[in-house]
């Protein structure tokens, strides 16, 4: 359980400290006062990434040279970000590699940005796959890193003025070896999520949600796929197939959710995917991850809120943001620690209302 959070020069906050020794924490306040930034800081301590921005240095408050986040859980986590440096600490010891840091603090975040899983680009969905798998499987992170290095080497060889197909073939074979590992891990993850989504969809009153992987090659003969595309790769001077080109669809009753789902359904689908992810992490570690819910009750009717509340109550710890505590079910509110944020400062610290 996270008991303390400290943000320094982080987004809107210059220096702010929260005591959060409670299983349910609600950050309440108007828009643009920094509620989402607090969840972003927690997320950074679990993943080393921002869920809002590809460039993590953008968290640094204007006019300052660095930002930092400190969190006390069963361990102490600290992230220090400057324009030139990113440093990660667990219990005051600096992690030599980011892979030693990520995934140690287990959490799942839902935010309105997750709608991009349905309506966004392929790269957003690939990023989701690779991050979430890597948080529970460090081997995946290693093979992804190897794959990216080999991909760069292959692309450089394709751009060479004197193309050497022998070198390209050697790189391609090694690329495929790493691809096979990541592909299998992605498929296993998709299959596990689909099993979990069956019950979660039903409990949230949704039709069947299913994820469907789309490879850019023939999974039954990957090597042949690469060699069939070699002339095109030489013409375009880039590698046109591989896990860096793959995607997955989100289906609602076997129809593409990006086309057929309403906005309300898309909101619920993304919540369901994150709840499935929460259960997936639990099965891997036999431990409930911390749940971060950014404006999650928006646009939900009372019955959907009631059903979602059951998942919140079963969490190890949940952090919720809202513009009004009137949107929060009484069943949650009565046991919650409510922290009101005004003008980027904590104004109220108490239980309930």
Q: Rounded mean pLDDT of 144-148?
A: 97
Q: Higher-confidence residue: 344 or 167?
A: 167
Domains of the chain, residue spans: 1-106+290-353, 115-286
> Which CATH architecture does the domain made up of 1-106+290-353 adopt?
3-Layer(aba) Sandwich (3.40)
Alpha-carbon dihedral 113, 292, 210, 279, rounded to 10 degrees? 160
Tokens of 282: 């639990």
Does residue 348 surpass a pLDDT of 60? no
As a whole number of angstroms, the distance between CA 342 and CA 201 comes to: 36
Architecture of the domain defined by 115-286: Up-down Bundle (1.20)
- Strands across the sheet containing 209-214: 209-214, 247-252, 255-256
pTM for the whole thing? Answer: 0.93
Q: What is the pLDDT of residues 248-301, one digit of tens each?
A: 999 999 999 999 999 999 999 999 999 999 999 999 999 999 999 999 988 788
Share of the chain above pLDDT 70, in %: 97
What pLDDT, on the 0 to 100 scale, is given for residue 102? 96
Domains 1-106+290-353 and 115-286 share a fold: no
The pLDDT tens digits for 196-243 are: 999 999 999 888 999 999 999 999 999 999 999 999 999 999 999 999
pLDDT at 347: 55
């Amino acid at each position: 359980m996270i008991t303390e959070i400290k943000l320094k020069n982080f987004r809107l906050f210059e220096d702010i400290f929260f005591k959060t020794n409670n299983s349910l924490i609600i950050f309440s306040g108007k828009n643009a006062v920094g509620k989402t930034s607090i969840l972003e800081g927690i997320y950074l301590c679990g993943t080393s990434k921002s869920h809002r921005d590809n460039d993590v240095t953008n968290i640094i408050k204007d006019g300052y040279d660095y930002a930092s986040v400190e969190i006390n859980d069963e361990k102490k986590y600290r992230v220090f970000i400057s324009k030139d440096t990113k440093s990660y600490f667990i219990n005051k010891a600096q992690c030599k590699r980011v892979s030693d840091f990520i995934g140690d603090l287990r959490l799942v975040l839902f935010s309105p940005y997750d709608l991009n899983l349905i309506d966004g680009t392929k790269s957003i969905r690939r990023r989701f796959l690779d991050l979430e798998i890597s948080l529970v499987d460090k081997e995946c992170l290693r093979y992804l890193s190897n794959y990216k290095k080999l991909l760069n080497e292959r692309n450089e060889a394709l751009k060479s003025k004197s193309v050497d197909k022998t070198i390209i073939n050697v790189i391609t074979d090694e690329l495929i070896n790493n691809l096979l590992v990541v592909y299998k891990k992605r498929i296993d993850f998709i299959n596990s999520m689909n099993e979990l989504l069956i019950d979660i969809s039903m409990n949230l009153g949704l039709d069947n949600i299913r994820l469907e992987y789309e490879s850019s090659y023939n999974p039954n003969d990957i090597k042949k796929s690469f060699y069939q595309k070699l002339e095109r790769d030489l013409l375009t001077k880039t590698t046109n197939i591989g896990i860096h080109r793959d995607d997955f669809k989100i289906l609602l009753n076997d129809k593409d959710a990006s086309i057929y789902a309403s906005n309300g359904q898309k909101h619920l689908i993304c919540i369901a995917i994150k709840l499935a992810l929460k259960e997936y992490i639990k099965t891997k570690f036999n431990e409930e991850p911390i749940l971060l819910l950014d404006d999650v009750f928006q646009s939900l009717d009372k019955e959907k809120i009631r059903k979602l509340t059951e998942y919140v109550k079963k969490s190890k710890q949940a952090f919720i943001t809202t513009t009004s505590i009137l949107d929060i079910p009484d069943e949650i509110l009565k046991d919650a620690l409510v922290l009101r944020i005004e003008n980027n400062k904590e104004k109220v610290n108490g239980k309930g209302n």
